[in-house]
Amino acid sequence: MKKIKVLISSTKIKNKVTKIAQQINKDFKNKKLVVVSVLSGSVVFCSDIIRKLSVDFEIDFIRVASYKGKKSSGKIKFLCDVVEDIKGKDILLVEDICDSGRTLSYVKDLFIKRKANSVKICTLINKKVEKFKNIKIDYFGFEIDNEFIVGYGLDYDGKYRGLPYIGVI
Ligand code: IMP
Ligand code: MG
| pLDDT, tens digit, 9 for 90 and up, residues 36-62 | 999 999 999 999 999 999 999 999 999
- CA 77, CA 64: separation in Å to the nearest integer? 5
- Cβ atoms of 34 and 62 within 8 Å: the answer is no
The closest-lying atom of ligand 1 relative to the alpha carbon of residue 154 is: 21
Q: Count other C-beta atoms under 10 Å from residue 138's C-beta.
A: 15
Q: pTM for this structure?
A: 0.95
Whether the predicted pLDDT of 3 surpasses 90: no
Q: What CATH number has the domain bearing residue 84? A: 3.40.50.2020
Condensed to tens digits (0 to 9), the pLDDT of residues 58-96 reads 999 999 988 777 777 778 889 999 998 999 999 999 999
Phi, psi of 94 (to 5 degrees): -110, 120
Q: Which residues are catalytic?
A: 99
> How many C-beta atoms surround the C-beta of residue 18 within 10 A?
12
Atom from ligand 1 closest to the CA of residue 127: 16
Domain count, the chain: 1
Whether the CB-CB separation of 131 and 123 falls below 8 Å is answered with no
Q: Is the distance from the beta carbon of residue 132 to the nearest atom of ligand 1 less than 6 Å?
A: no
Q: Determine the structural domain holding residue 111 and report its residue range.
A: 5-23+31-67+76-168
3-state secondary structure of 130: coil
**CA distance linking residue 8 with residue 141, whole number of Å:** 11
Cis peptide before 54 (omega within 30 of 0): no
- Are 39 and 62 a contacting pair, CB within 8 Å? yes
153 CA distance to ligand 2 middle (Å): 8
